[in-house]
C-alpha cells in the first residue's frame, strides 16, 4: 500500500540502515509530478536533463537557472509526499561559493525544493559546504557527470581502470565528509559501485551503476518511452507511450478530415 507520509532528509539515512531501496525519478512539469508523486516514489528530481528531453537542446550545458526554476515551480505544485530535489545547472555553482549559495537558495525560496544536486568530486567541497552552511541539503553526483562530459571524453563509463576507480572512491569520501546527504553514482562498473556503497555511511543512488547501490534513479521519459531519440543501455523501458501518442494524433487527424469528429456527443445544442 502506498505511503502518504512525506519523505524527508532523515529517511535517506533510515533506508540506508534498514536496507530498503530508495526510488528516484525525474519530473519537469505538473501533471507528470502528480503521477509520480501519487505512485509513492520516494524522491523526485527536477533534472537538468530537461534540456535534452523537453527543451530540445543537444546537451545539458545550455540549461539556465531561470529554466530550472520555471520547471521546478511546476513540479512543486504536483509534489506533496516525495522529496523534491533541484538540479543545479552548468555554471550556476562552478565559479565561486557565493554564486553556488545564491542559486541554491533560488531553488528553495522560489521553487520550493527540499534540496539541490551538484555534479563533481573533491573539487566541489567548498561549494557544497557553503550551500549546506546556508541551510540547504546537497545531493552529490560523481562518475559520468553530463555537465563535464566533454572533459571526460564523452558519455562513457567512468572508473574502469584502477587509477580512475581510486579517484572516484576518494571523491565519494570527500563528498560524504563535506556533508552530502546522499550520492548519485552514474555509469560506473557495478563492482566499484558496490565498494563505494559499502564504504559510505550516506546512501548511494545508482544510474547505470548496477544493483548494489542503495537506490536507483532514471529519467521518467526514458522509463515510459516518451523520449525516443536515444535510450541509454542502463534504461529499462516499462512502457512505450510515444507509440500510443502517435497513434492517437493520427486518429484525430483522420477523423477530423473525414468529418467523424466531432460527433454528436462532443457538440452542444
Give the active site residues: 186
Cell 467523424, residue located: 260
- Under a CB-based contact definition with an 8 Å cutoff, are residues 27 and 33 in contact? yes
Q: Which three cell numbers stand for residue 50?
A: 530537461
Three-state DSSP class for residue 215? strand
46 contacts 234 by C-beta, under 8 angstroms: no
Q: Where are the beta strands (DSSP E) in the chain?
A: 22-26, 43-46, 83-87, 115-119, 138-143, 182-186, 204-207, 215-218
Three-state SS annotation for 3-28: CCCCCCHHHHHHHHHHCCCEEEEECC
- What are the φ/ψ torsions at residue 17 (nearest 5 degrees)? -70, -35
CB 71 within 8 A of CB 50: yes
Contacts 24+ apart (CB under 8 A), 151-160: 155/187, 156/187, 157/187, 157/188, 157/189, 157/208, 158/186, 158/187, 158/188, 159/188, 159/189, 159/192, 160/189
How large is the C-alpha radius of gyration of the chain?
Answer: 20
Q: What are the residues whose beta carbons fall under 8 Å from the beta carbon of 154, sequence distance 6 or more? A: none
Amino acid at each position: 500500500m502506498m505511503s502518504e507520509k512525506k519523505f524527508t532528509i532523515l529517511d535517506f539515512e533510515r533506508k540506508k540502515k534498514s536496507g530498503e531501496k530508495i526510488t528516484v525519478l525525474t519530473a519537469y512539469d505538473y501533471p507528470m509530478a502528480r503521477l509520480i508523486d501519487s505512485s509513492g516514489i520516494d524522491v523526485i528530481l527536477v533534472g537538468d536533463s530537461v534540456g535534452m528531453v523537453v527543451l530540445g537542446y543537444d546537451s545539458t550545458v545550455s540549461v539556465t537557472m531561470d529554466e530550472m526554476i520555471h520547471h521546478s515551480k511546476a513540479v512543486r505544485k504536483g509534489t506533496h509526499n516525495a522529496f523534491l530535489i533541484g538540479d543545479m545547472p552548468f555554471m550556476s555553482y562552478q565559479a565561486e561559493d557565493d554564486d553556488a549559495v545564491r542559486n541554491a537558495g533560488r531553488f528553495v525560496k522560489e521553487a520550493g525544493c527540499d534540496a539541490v544536486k551538484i555534479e563533481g568530486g573533491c573539487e566541489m567541497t567548498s561549494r557544497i559546504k557553503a550551500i549546506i552552511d546556508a541551510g540547504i541539503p546537497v545531493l552529490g553526483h560523481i562518475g559520468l557527470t553530463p555537465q563535464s562530459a566533454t572533459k571526460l571524453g564523452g558519455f562513457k563509463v567512468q572508473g574502469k581502470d584502477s587509477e580512475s576507480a581510486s579517484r572516484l572512491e576518494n571523491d565519494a569520501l570527500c563528498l560524504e565528509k563535506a556533508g552530502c546527504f546522499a550520492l548519485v553514482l552514474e555509469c560506473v562498473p557495478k563492482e566499484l559501485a558496490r565498494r563505494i556503497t559499502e564504504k559510505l555511511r550516506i546512501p548511494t543512488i545508482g544510474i547505470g551503476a548496477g544493483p548494489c547501490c542503495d537506490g536507483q534513479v532514471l529519467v521518467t521519459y526514458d522509463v515510459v518511452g516518451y523520449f525516443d531519440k536515444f535510450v541509454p543501455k542502463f534504461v529499462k523501458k516499462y512502457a512505450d507511450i510515444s507509440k500510443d501518442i502517435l497513434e492517437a494524433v493520427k486518429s484525430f487527424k483522420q477523423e477530423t478530415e473525414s468529418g467523424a469528429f466531432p460527433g454528436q456527443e462532443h457538440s452542444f445544442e
